[in-house]
Amino acid sequence: MSNLAKFKIDGVECMAEAGKFIVEAARENGIFIPTLCNMPGVKPQGACRVCTVRINGRLMTACTTPIGDGMEIESNKPDLIDIRKSIVELLFVSGNHFCPACEKSGDCELQALGYLYQMMVPRYPYDFPLREVDASSPYIIKDQNRCIMCKRCIKSVKDEEGRSYFAFHNRGDKLEVVLDKVLGESMDKQTAEKAMESCPVGSILVKEKGFAKPIGTRKFDRKPIGSDVKL
């Protein structure tokens, strides 16, 4: 077992296979580092910045940084928690997230992080942007009001030839995640389900399935996000 690395998170001694990404390595050691854009089996992309930790005085994303032997990682420090909370707040104010009316409420990772960080009201003014809903595909709805641009659908939903169903469009404040017109039309039910599962929020919904699971029985209704990770 020569490729095991010893490292510390907030002073706690940990061990994992060298080269594993910090988020995974921490999880194996019972430490939860929150994520939004990260997804098992997909190359991490460091888009949401929620997993920000500090290593050697530098801010790094725990989902993209591999652990090394002797690494000392700061994670649950007040200033880092504030950065994470402020990112969650930013995502709330820059979209239109009306949780009580959202089909994904209770299964939404953004909402769950809002609870985790006890966000009462965001410190930033709401932007109330004008966004559209694309319901042109037979099986799915792409609601731009709720999209947090995490790229999970872009990276994980592909056809047999490896082509992406989703892609970014534009850049900066005009950035959007859009569905391919041609592929969207021929998308089958199974792919639609996969797309919905890839979405951490309520931006991709399978038509007529939004409330299949009653509110109150959903993933984060009883247990806060990260509670499956135990020290």
Partner 1 sequence: MKDTVKQILKQYGSDRNRLMDILIDIQEQLGYIPKDAIDLLAANLGMSQVDVEQTISFYHFFSTKPRGKYAIYLNDSAVARMFGYDSVKRTFESEAGIKFGQVSDDGLIGLFNTACMGMSDQEPAAIINNKVFTRLTPYRVREIVKHMREGKAVEELMNESYGDGKNQLPSLRSIVSSNVRRKGMILGDDYEMGTVTKTRLTKMSPEAVIAEMKHSHIRGRGGAGFPTGLKWEFCRRSKGDKRYVICNADEGEPGTFKDRVILTEKPELVFEGMAVAGYAIGSDEGILYLRYEYRYMKDYLNEVLENMRKQNLLGKEIAGIEGFDFDIRIQYGAGAYVCGEESALLESLEGKRGEPRDKPPFPVEKGYLGMPTIVNNVETFGTAVKIVLNGGEWFTQFGTEDSTGTKILSISGDCMFPGVYEVDWGFNVEDMLDMVGAWEVQAVQVGGPSGTLIGSKEFHRTLGYSDLSTGGSMIIFGPQRNLLKDVVLNFMHFFIEESCGSCSTCRNMTQVMTNKLTKILNGKGVKSDLDDLQSWAKTLQASRCGLGQTAANPIVSSLKNFRHLYEALLQKDKDFDQGFDMEASVQASCNYVGRVPNFNHH
Which residues of this protein are in contact with partner 1, per CB under 8 A?
44-50, 52, 59, 61, 64-66, 79, 83, 86-87, 90-91, 93-94, 123-125, 127, 148-149, 151, 159, 161-175, 178-183
Min separation Cβ 192 and partner 1, Å: 16
The one-letter amino acid at 162: G
Question: Which residue number, 161 or 228, has a Cβ lying nearer to partner 1?
Answer: 161
Among candidates 48, 16, 20, 21, which has minimal Cα distance to 35?
Answer: 48
What is the distance between the alpha carbons of residues 121 and 114, in angstroms, rounded to a whole number?
10
Complex with partner 1: residue 30 or 168, whichever CB lies closer: 168
Of 104 and 151, CB closest to partner 1? 151
Q: Which is nearer to partner 1, 99 or 149 (CB)?
A: 149
Residue 201 DSSP label = S
Q: Report the DSSP beta bridge partners of residue 178.
A: 167
CB of 2 to partner 1, least distance (A): 20
Q: How far is the CB of 98 from partner 1 (least distance, A)?
A: 18
Whole-number minimum distance, CB 138 to partner 1, in Å? 17
Which secondary structure element, helix H or strand E, spans residue 177, and what is its range? strand 176-179
Environment class of residue 181 by beta-carbon count within 10 Å: exposed (0-12), middle (13-18) or buried (19+)? Answer: exposed
